[in-house]
Structure 1
Amino acid sequence: MHHYATSDTSPILRQVAVEAIADGWPDDSGTLALLRDLATTDTDGDVRMVAVGAIAGGWPDDPGALALLRDLATTDTDAGVRQVAVGAIAGGWPDDSGALALLRDLATTDTDGDVRQVAVHAIARHHPKDRKQASD
């Protein structure tokens, strides 16, 4: 399965392999490292999105997960990857001290309108007090 996730020429097959690895081997010591690698280095944005979603959903307690998601939310070249990372940060770490600041920043500065929209929705959903203050 590792071969399909990392080396197959079909991005769709790589996506399916990433999902299968994340779902089938969450306790394997190499799974998270593989997902991190794919989230940052795969040439296809959809494969990176699947890896990002798997990390956020399967390893929310991993100390490096939030830092990786923050990095991807602000630096990935693919807007879809940034959207998934923003949504994962908002949903998985709503009480993190830097999450709201990051969402506010992305809501106004990301170059992609869909990423800005995800950030605005995340603020409204996960930080209702901030939403009220913004409307005053």
Structure 2
Amino acid sequence: MSARSAVSAITGGWPGDPAARDAVLRLAEDREAIVREIAPTALAHGWPGDPAGRSTVLRLAEDRKAIVREIVPAALGRGWPGDPAARDAVLRLADDSHAGTRCGVASALAQGWPGDPAALRAVLESADDPEQQVRRAAASALAQGWPGDPAGHRAVLRLADDGRPQVRRFAATALARGWPDEPRTRVVVLGLADDPVPVVRRNAASALGQGWPGDAGALDVLLALARDREPEVRESAAVALVTGWPGDSAANHAVQRLGVDRVRAVRWATATALRKRGGT
């Protein structure tokens, strides 16, 4: 049995047990980084709030190996939310040289310290990170931890115009989640529905269904996306139409057409959405 499997068994079988916790604490001292990196998540899941676990994870935040440090932010946000020392450790990791670690910081701050001004400042700074994966995480984190915040809104609007399509698609989702009542948000997401990259159009379709159900302008755009040349976009449009415009005749007509689409994945997504809604 691998060390990871053993820890999973211990955490799942004896959560809260001091002896099991001590076994996991010893893993944090292992000479192999691939073993040490198991400990933070296990401690956060099995012994949240535990002082000894917190001390160990805080120490691992300064581990020499990036594969260990990158696990720490999520563990601290899950296991010790609201804890000032844990927050400060996560904030320090925002300047880590490893992009994977910085990526985890934004999500951890949104989970563990939503509404915290210092955490917000760090996430706003990460929205300008040179690595696209960090900017993507910042968009999602701002919507999760600071919905409605004006500075967060401005940052995500800027990310909606990012040169990387993966960032733009995350921004579309974040805008609908965090600022659906802002007029500018709707305009930007409608624009992303015409993005040249399919994955962005796909997320824009989902965002329109999530943020503006029943909206006439959003419906017009979704009806066009339901005829998109890319199946993944049609899938997303189908789900949005089913959930957001259940009584609209034009939406229902489009859904019927998508239910017999030439691509099986589109048919499956449509049928699944109808079943969840209680349709046929």
- Asked whether 1:123 is paired with 2:241, we answer yes
Displacement of 1:70: 0.7
Q: Distance in 1 between matches of 2:142 and 2:246?
A: 36
> Partner letter of residue 51 of structure 1?
A
Task: Give the structure 2 partner of residue 32 of structure 1.
Answer: 153
| The 10-residue stretch of structure 1 (55-64 or 120-129) with the greater mean CA deviation from structure 2 | 120-129
By relative contact order (CA 8 Å, sep 6+), the higher-ranking structure is 1
- Structure whose alpha-carbon radius of gyration is higher: 2
Displacement of 1:59: 0.5
Task: Give the structure 1 partner of residue 204 of structure 2.
Answer: 85
> Any gaps of 5 or more consecutive residues in structure 2?
1-121, 257-280
The alignment partner of 1:104 has SS state of helix
Aligned length: 132
What is the TM-score normalised by the length of structure 2? 0.42
State whether residues 72 and 82 of structure 1, in contact with CA within 8 Å, keep that contact through their aligned partners in structure 2: yes
> Any gaps of 5 or more consecutive residues in structure 1?
none
State whether residues 104 and 120 of structure 1, in contact with CA within 8 Å, keep that contact through their aligned partners in structure 2: no
Q: Distance in 2 between matches of 1:53 and 1:31?
A: 14
Q: Distance in 2 between matches of 1:133 and 1:53?
A: 26
State whether residues 14 and 47 of structure 1, in contact with CA within 8 Å, keep that contact through their aligned partners in structure 2: yes
Counterparts in 2 of 1:4-43, with a 5 A limit? 4-8=126-130, 10-26=131-147, 28-40=149-161, 42-43=162-163
Q: Evaluate the alpha carbon distance shift between residue 128 and residue 45 of structure 1 in structure 2; reply closer, same or farther with a 3 A threshold.
A: same
Q: Evaluate the alpha carbon distance shift between residue 17 and residue 103 of structure 1 in structure 2; reply closer, same or farther with a 3 A threshold.
A: closer
Task: Give the structure 1 partner of residue 166 of structure 2.
Answer: 46
Q: Distance in 2 between matches of 1:124 and 1:93?
A: 13
Q: Distance in 2 between matches of 1:68 and 1:126?
A: 19
Q: Evaluate the alpha carbon distance shift between residue 48 and residue 133 of structure 1 in structure 2; reply closer, same or farther with a 3 A threshold.
A: closer
Higher helix share: 1
Q: Evaluate the alpha carbon distance shift between residue 33 and residue 121 of structure 1 in structure 2; reply closer, same or farther with a 3 A threshold.
A: same
Q: Which of 227, 232, 242 pairs up with 1:114? A: 232
The C-alpha deviation readout for 1:77-116, integer Å capped at 9, x for no partner, is 22222111111112221221222222111111x2322112
Displacement of 1:27: 5.2
The alignment partner of 2:214 has SS state of coil
- Aligned-residue CA RMSD in angstroms? 2.4
Identity across the alignment (%)? 35
> Partner letter of residue 183 of structure 2?
P
- Asked whether 1:61 is paired with 2:181, we answer yes
